[in-house]
């Protein structure tokens, strides 16, 4: 079977699209033929990781570190559970499962609000609809990208999210990235590419799906940050307001999308007790994934969240080597080492830039764009 082949399939599970939540499912090629052994699972998909840890503000430091820790722990956990659900139990309707994840999140947040743990805030309904629909559409495009492309090309699609996010924030949000930050991101992306990317089979439809996936994912994650600042709401308040619309959007697209990618329908699937139990477990973990995603992007920004996402990828890859006895190639170890070095360099560079901005009275790292956030976007 070979080192590359087994690790490639494992990464297809670890790095699948995510709607601030968990897994995605099996897929078919452009002609509708089911491709075997490529089941995606979950992950999705600031100031800096290291930079915030070094902040002199003690309460914010604890809050940010806690958010980062929860995000990593919950995301890696849901990858492992989803891998069992998809690969072992054979449940392939994971876009539908993602809709269930968001529906459970809606219920959990309503219980929290009724219990007094959360104070709901009103946000413009039009902005929430645009935000929620864009999130759902980005998940669909990510699934289609994985369905129409090789796993290697899909990995390149994931890597393209960071440079695209940097470009959008620079052009539309007037955010400046220093040369050292850009250099550290290049090192990080190079390491992830070495560790994860294998074949690069190109086709027109798959390339278009990948471009759409990258753009919609970047914008949706940027909006997650700007909407919190524009409306003066916390990450939990934004998730409370947007989650019903996100659940509806995902519910609307999941059945036809899963039917196209996998065949059949999740509505007529014969659910066994193990499938129901493990699916329910993923729903419980997904509440933490959704919460931590909004929390991290609110405290940090979309670029740092993507850097954190690649850290999760490296952790999942190492988990496969250690716990699942996946064969290790030299390029995997080299790639992981380069990626981790890039992450540390990014944290140091972001921390230095943040301190320099504070000394110059530069204010917030990501500018708030007046009423632009009401539309979820930039001026």
pLDDT digit string (tens) for 188-217?
Answer: 899 888 887 766 676 788 889 999 999 999
Flag whether pLDDT at 178 surpasses 80: yes
Q: What is the mean pLDDT of residues 365-374?
A: 36
CA gap 139, 308 in Å, rounded: 19
Least confidently predicted of 123-137, 166-180, 234-248, 347-361: 347-361
* Dmax (CA) of the chain: 62
Q: What angle do CA 284, 44, 164 make, to 5 degrees?
A: 165
pLDDT value of residue 17: 52
Query: Is residue 229 within 8 Å of residue 365, measured between CB atoms?
Result: no
DSSP 8-state code for residue 375: G
Least confidently predicted of 2-6, 228-232, 314-318: 2-6
Query: Is residue 170 within 8 Å of residue 238, measured between CB atoms?
Result: no
pLDDT value of residue 256: 93
pLDDT value of residue 136: 87
pLDDT value of residue 21: 39
- Residue of 21, 30, 12 whose CA lies nearest to 86: 12
pLDDT value of residue 369: 34
- Residue of 225, 198, 191, 197 whose CA lies nearest to 343: 191
Q: Give strand pairing partners of 34.
A: 28
Q: What is the CA radius of gyration of the chain?
A: 20
Going along the chain, which residue ranges are E strands? none
What element of type H or E holds 21?
none
Q: Give strand pairing partners of 28.
A: 34
Flag whether pLDDT at 326 surpasses 80: no
Per the model's pLDDT, the better-predicted residue between 272 and 235 turns out to be: 272
Residue 149: pLDDT band with limits 50, 70, 90: confident
pLDDT value of residue 52: 39
Q: What is the mean pLDDT of residues 271-291?
A: 94
Q: What is the mean pLDDT of residues 6-25?
A: 45
CA gap 19, 375 in Å, rounded: 20
| Helix, strand, or coil (residue 28) | strand
| Helix, strand, or coil (residue 88) | helix
Query: Is residue 24 within 8 Å of residue 41, measured between CB atoms?
Result: yes
Among 50-59, 152-161, 271-280, 364-373, the range with the most confident prediction by mean pLDDT is 271-280
CA gap 207, 110 in Å, rounded: 40
Among 10-24, 213-227, 341-355, the range with the most confident prediction by mean pLDDT is 213-227
- Percent of the residues in the chain that have a pLDDT greater than 90, as a whole number: 35
Q: What is the mean pLDDT of residues 30-45?
A: 38
pLDDT value of residue 269: 93
Residue 5: pLDDT band with limits 50, 70, 90: very low
- Residue of 299, 231, 269 whose CA lies nearest to 68: 299
Flag whether pLDDT at 245 surpasses 90: yes
Q: How far is CA 222 from CA 84, 127, 296, 303, in A?
A: 32, 14, 12, 9
pLDDT value of residue 361: 64
Q: What is the mean pLDDT of residues 33-37?
A: 37
Least confidently predicted of 56-60, 118-122, 320-324, 340-344: 56-60
Flag whether pLDDT at 29 surpasses 60: no
Residue 51: pLDDT band with limits 50, 70, 90: very low
Per the model's pLDDT, the better-predicted residue between 338 and 94 turns out to be: 338
CA gap 274, 278 in Å, rounded: 6
Q: What is the mean pLDDT of residues 82-89?
A: 88
Output the average pLDDT for the chain. 77
Flag whether pLDDT at 375 surpasses 50: no
pTM of the model: 0.71
Residue 28: pLDDT band with limits 50, 70, 90: very low
Least confidently predicted of 29-38, 208-217, 260-269: 29-38
């Amino acid at each position: 079977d070979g080192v590359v082949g087994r690790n490639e399939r494992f990464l297809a599970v670890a790095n699948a699209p995510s709607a601030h939540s968990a897994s995605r499912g099996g897929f078919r090629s452009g002609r509708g033929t089911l491709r075997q052994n490529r089941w995606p699972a979950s992950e999705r998909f600031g100031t800096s990781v290291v930079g915030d840890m070094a902040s002199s503000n003690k309460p914010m430091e604890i809050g940010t570190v806690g958010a980062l820790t929860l995000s990593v722990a919950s995301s890696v956990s849901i990858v492992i559970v989803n891998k069992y659900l998809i690969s072992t139990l054979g449940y392939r309707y994971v876009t539908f499962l993602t809709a269930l994840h968001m529906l459970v999140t809606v219920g959990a947040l309503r219980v929290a609000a009724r219990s007094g743990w959360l104070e709901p805030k009103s946000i413009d309904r039009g902005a929430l609809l645009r935000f929620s629909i864009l999130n759902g559409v980005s998940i669909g495009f990510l699934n289609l990208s994985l369905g129409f492309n090789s796993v290697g090309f899909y990995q390149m699609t994931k890597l393209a999210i960071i440079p695209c996010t940097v470009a959008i924030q620079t052009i539309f949000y007037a955010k400046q990235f220093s040369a050292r930050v850009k250099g550290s991101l290049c090192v990080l992306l190079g390491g992830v590419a070495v560790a994860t990317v294998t074949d690069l089979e190109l086709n027109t439809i798959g390339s278009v799906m990948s471009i759409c996936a990258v753009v919609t994912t970047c914008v949706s994650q940027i909006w997650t940050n700007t909407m919190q600042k524009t409306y003066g709401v916390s990450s939990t308040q934004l998730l409370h307001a947007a989650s019903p619309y996100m659940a509806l959007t995902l519910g609307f697209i999941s059945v036809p999308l899963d039917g196209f990618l996998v065949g059949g329908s999740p509505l007529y699937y014969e659910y066994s007790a193990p499938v129901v139990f493990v699916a329910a477990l993923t729903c419980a973990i997904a509440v933490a994934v959704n919460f931590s995603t909004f929390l991290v992007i609110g405290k940090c920004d979309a670029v740092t969240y993507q850097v954190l996402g690649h850290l999760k990828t490296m952790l999942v890859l190492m988990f496969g080597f250690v716990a699942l006895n996946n064969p290790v190639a030299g390029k995997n170890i080299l790639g992981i080492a380069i990626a981790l070095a890039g992450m540390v360099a990014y944290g140091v560079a972001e921390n230095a830039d943040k301190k320099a901005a504070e000394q110059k009275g530069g204010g917030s790292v990501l500018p708030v764009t007046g009423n632009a956030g009401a539309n979820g976007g930039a001026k």
